[in-house]
């Protein structure tokens, strides 16, 4: 028969294994769902920024935004009717309804009613 301390060790080990299997998966799924669903607002471009003071930036349809310093943007969702030009380490555009889920160092984002970006 196992002693009290042995049973405690078995219970702790089993609990830790269950938390590892179930807890990590559930927490990861919840975090991914929050990140993906949390940055979509009709009529705005939403940027998730790696900045503790301003973790989310919303830009109204047709407006432009310039960061005070280059910032790491981890996702951009364009829920407007205008294409946006992103001034980053290399320039790119985000069409209406498009989302970009890759980190970029961004300095500004500008509305482009024509749908064309210079860079």
Residues 35-53 have pLDDT tens digits of 444 489 999 999 999 999 8
What pLDDT is recorded for position 45? 97
Same domain (yes/no): 61, 93: yes
Residues 6+ apart with CB under 8 A from 8: none
Please, are residues 61 and 96 in contact by the beta-carbon 8 Å criterion? no
pLDDT (0 to 100) of residue 100: 93
Q: Strand locations in the chain, DSSP E?
A: 44-49, 56-60, 65-78, 83-88, 92-94, 99-100, 104-112
Range of the domain at 100: 42-112
- Taking 90 as the threshold, does the pLDDT of residue 31 lie above it? no
46/33 same-domain check: no
The chain-wide mean pLDDT, for the chain, equals: 79
For the chain, the domain total comes to 2
Q: CA distances (Å), 84 to each of 33, 70, 97, in order?
A: 25, 17, 11
Domain assignment present for 47: yes
User: What are the start-end ranges of the H helices in 1-119?
Assistant: 4-18, 24-37
33 and 46 co-located in one domain: no
């Amino acid at each position: 028969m196992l002693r009290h301390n042995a049973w405690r060790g078995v219970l702790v080990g089993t609990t830790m294994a269950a938390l590892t299997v179930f807890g990590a998966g559930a927490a990861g799924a919840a975090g991914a769902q929050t990140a993906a669903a949390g940055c979509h607002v009709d009529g705005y471009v939403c940027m998730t920024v790696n900045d503790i003071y301003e973790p989310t930036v919303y830009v109204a349809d047709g407006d432009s935004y310039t960061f005070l310093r280059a910032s790491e943007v981890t996702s951009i969702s364009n829920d407007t009717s205008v294409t946006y030009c992103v001034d980053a380490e290399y320039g790119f555009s985000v069409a209406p309804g498009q989302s970009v889920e890759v980190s970029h160092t961004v300095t500004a984002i500008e509305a482009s009613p024509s749908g064309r970006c210079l860079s």
